[in-house]
Amino acid sequence: MLKPLLVKLAAKPRVKIDVDPDDLVSDAVLLYKGPRFQPHQPLRVDYTDQPALDSGGVKRQFYNDLFLQLVTDNQFRLFKVLPTGCCSAMTRQH
């Protein structure tokens, strides 16, 4: 059952992104807005100066760090805390 999935994934080359933890959002924007981005192509994430094998954990950490920075950094203002304080909502520019 998993063999066809493994064959399908192995057939697609991975897009490699080198991420600087201090410039995470810029690196993500360059990837997703760049000409190399293919939504169906697997992604391999490498953090600068942090050797690791990406078997899923490094990529998961990248998305966790990215989302945390987008939510908490006032520079981007993509989310705001709701009056209840329990969750965030996307901000809208009018």
Q: What is the pLDDT of residue 37?
A: 81
- Whole domain around residue 35: which residue ranges? 13-90
Domain-embedded: residue 65: yes
Distance CA 61, CA 67 (A): 10
Q: What is the pLDDT of residue 94?
A: 47
Q: How many domains does the chain have?
A: 1
Distance CA 71, CA 78 (A): 7
Domain-embedded: residue 6: no
Domain-embedded: residue 5: no
Domain-embedded: residue 2: no
Read off the pLDDT of each residue in 45-71 and give the average, rounded to a whole number. Answer: 82
**Mean pLDDT, the chain, whole residue set:** 77
- In sequence order, the β-bridge partners of residue 16 are 44
CATH classification at residue 56: 3.90.1750.10
Enter the pTM of the model: 0.66
Over residues 18-42, the pLDDT tens digits come to 889 888 888 998 888 888 788 888 8
Read off the pLDDT of each residue in 74-85 and give the average, rounded to a whole number. Answer: 69
Domain-embedded: residue 8: no
Domain-embedded: residue 25: yes
